[in-house]
Amino acid sequence: MKEYILKILRWAVKELSILTLKKYRPTIVGVTGSVGKTSTKLAIAAVLGDERSVRYSRENFNNELGLPLVILGSYGKISGTLFWLKVIFNSIKNLFKRVEYPEILILEYGVDRPGDMKYLLSIAKPNIGVITAIGETPAHVEYFDGPEAVAREKGRLVESLLSMGHAILNGDDKVVMELKERTRGRLITFGFEKGASVRVANFESKEQFGIPVGISFKLEYGGSFVPVKLNGIFGKHQAYASAAAACVGLSFGMNLHNIAEGLAKNYKPAEHRMSVVTGINNSVVLDDSYNANPLSMKMGLDSLNSIPGKRKIAVLGDMLEIGKYAMDEHKKIGAIAGNFVDILFTVGSRSQFIAEGAKAVGMAKKNIFSFGDVDEAIEEVKKNIRKGDTILVKGSHSMNLEKLVDEIKLPLPEKQK
């Protein structure tokens, strides 16, 4: 799309979004962070959806064009000029006649470069702001002066809140908690550590016949607690998403019982985000192939390490957009994997440093395989999978590791497709 057309389009959807919000005045829940934005957004929708009229996008619509599309209610498949003309026409029409509009918008605020958050906030300022996790080496740090600059940009979300708003922060993330002084909103924290407003306790990975089937934990708040069971998903980051969603539910006056019920009944994670699928040769695949950065990669490996399996296999791709930190961060991931993984596959030029990190902690060279791209890796991975193996697949989106997942998972029966 030519630059001048893109500028006109940006201006059009921005102005239409602002006018739409002024007319319908929904409550806006804004979600940002380097890890877990989409999962948290979906968990919030699961909690609120039974009691309120809610709109959100299951897609990753979190930038200068995507966020307005959610506001305007046109977040389907984007397909050229005709799509955008329909968006603009329908949005103008909805300004002149009153249509049914959701009571709550759950918006994901993506930050790739300096100024992104400021631009998105110029379209829609939230009533409730959620920051999931940032970590010491956040995603997209390559385009900033450093990790602190990334945190400052994301922190604009809670900085924009009015005094009657709610700032919901990850109490276990030191970088996130440093932002608490920048908000006028009422502070609610979530996490595993003591002191969090909503605390995750008794976290367990559930299994049947040696196969992981989901997670269970308790949510504690104000001296009360409720059990939560989530099937078909895995990892502590899903518990973090659930706890953040519980904070949002509490800010709307919901009780813990209804929050837990909504999560158990309605929460389904986005595709390729730590989904548990059955693999070839009676193996188990942890499909976390959607994206990766240092923090999410550590979480993924922690999940792999915590569950049963005769052998643990990790297929790890490059972590992109971390700039000068790339070599050290990939080596750190390799050191973690090398301490417990039985077979390690790396995909991409940067992930060769993962292999180096694994060798440095004593992992045998014969158990490490490195490939330039996913197509090169597929057959070797398939050849090495045995009955009872548990395989983690994770890497940045452009590494296309979902292609490998499709090759090593069993197809769904026709009636489930």
pLDDT of residue 275: 85
Tell me what the mean pLDDT of segment 161-171 comes to: 97
Q: Once rounded to an integer, what is the mean pLDDT over residues 123-129?
A: 98
Region 110-139: what's the mean pLDDT? 95
Band the pLDDT of 417: cuts 50, 70, 90.
very low
Architecture per CATH, 275-416? Alpha-Beta Complex (3.90)
What is the pLDDT confidence band of residue 338, given thresholds at 50, 70 and 90? very high
Looking at residue 70, its pLDDT comes to 96
Please determine, for residue 189, whether its predicted confidence score (pLDDT) is greater than 50: yes
| Stronger pLDDT, 214 or 333, i.e. the higher one | 333
Residue 261 CB partners (closer than 8 Å, separation 6+): 50
Alpha carbon 4 to its chain's center: 32
| pLDDT over 60 (residue 413) | no
What pLDDT was estimated at residue 76?
65
- Of the pLDDT bands very low, low, confident and very high (cuts 50, 70, 90), residue 75 is low
Mean residue pLDDT across the chain: 93
Q: What is the pLDDT of residues 263-316, one digit of tens each?
A: 999 998 888 888 888 999 999 999 999 999 999 999 999 999 988 778 999 999
Whether the per-residue pLDDT at 163 is higher than 90: the answer is yes
Q: Is 215 in contact with 234 (CB distance < 8 Å)?
A: yes
Token pair for residue 175? 């970088």
- Asked whether the CA dihedral 120, 270, 77, 373 is positive or negative, the reply is positive
CB 29 within 8 A of CB 104: yes
Annotated domain spans of the chain:
3-266, 275-416
For the chain, how big is the Rg over CA atoms in Å? Answer: 22
- The four Cα atoms 292, 294, 299, 305 give a dihedral, to 10 degrees, of 100
| Residue bearing tokens 């959701």 | 102
pLDDT at 1: 54
Can you read off the two tokens belonging to residue 296? 């999410």
Distance between CA 234 and CA 240 in Å, rounded? 12
pLDDT digits (tens, 9 = 90+) for 343-367: 999 999 999 999 999 999 999 999 9
Higher pLDDT pick, 74 / 123: 123
Q: What band does 78 get if pLDDT is binned at 50, 70 and 90?
A: confident
- Asked if CATH classification 3.40.1190.10 holds for the domain at 3-266, the reply, yes or no, is yes
pLDDT at 220 over 90: yes
**In the predicted structure, residue 415 carries a pLDDT above the cut 70:** no
